[in-house]
Each structure stands twice: as C-alpha cells, then as structure tokens.
Amino acid sequence: MRRGQTCNCASAPIREMIYAMSYRLLAEIVLIMHALFIAFVIGSLALIVAGAFRRWNWVRNVWFRLIHLAAIGIVVAESWFGGICPLTVWESRLREAAGEAGYRQSFVAYWLQQILYYDISSEIFTVLYTGFGILVVLAWLWAPPRYG
C-alpha cells in the first residue's frame, strides 16, 4: 500500500474503536469538569458563610467572589432564557460521537433522576438556581469582599 492511501482492512474497526474510546474519555473529562464547576458554586457559598463566621480573610477576596458570582450568574441566566449549559451540550455530543446516548435534559436533571429516580421540571430548576443566586448575592452583601 502506498503512503497516503486508506486501508479498508481489519484496522478500520480498531481505528473506530479507538475514536469511540477517545470521545468517551473526553466526555468523562467534561463530566468531571462539570461536577467540579457545580462543587465550586455550591462549596464556595458554604465556605463564604463559614469563613465570615470564622473570620477567614481569603473568603473576602474580591476575585474569588467575582468569579463565584459570575459562575452562578451564568447558571441563573441560562435557566431564565431556557438555555442548556455548554458543558452539558459538549459532553452529550462527545457521548453521541462515541456511540453512546446523549442527554435529553440538563446535566443536573439527568443526574438527579439517576440518583433519586425523580423527574423534576426545568421550571423547578430555574427557581432553585435563582434562589441559590439570591443566596450568593445576600452573602455578598452580608460579608462583602474586600478590595485591595
């Protein structure tokens, strides 16, 4: 076989299997990133509240607080406008490219249903995300960040 020619031999199924495994691995990486993003948003609020009581100076760092506020702000805005998180879309497309089923709902709704066996409407998530966003703003006002 000459250089640059493709082979329709036994290596084609192996190549497809490698591609599928690569897409699956990338989907798992995106899943981990998504879980870490959620842990950051939820965990940061808990740390801000605890840090305010314990007088931890780092929880008042303006950059940390701005990133946290922006993170929940994006989630709230997506839910208000009916958007789907780009990480959910990305992971779903990677799973489909790997030959798996993608998500038919949001990442959080999917995993809550898997864990709790309960189907929750997107409107409930919008209320929950908005409520959490309000808590983040209240934490900002109650324990404001320090500039400088």
Tell me the pLDDT tens digit for each residue of 5-58.
655 555 777 778 787 788 888 888 888 898 899 999 999 999 999 999 999 999
Domain limits of the chain? 11-142
3-class secondary-structure state, position 18: helix
pTM (two decimals): 0.78
Residues 6+ apart with CB under 8 A from 94: 23, 24, 26, 27, 30
pLDDT in tens, 35-49: 899 999 999 999 999
pLDDT in tens, 64-92: 999 999 999 999 999 999 888 898 889 88
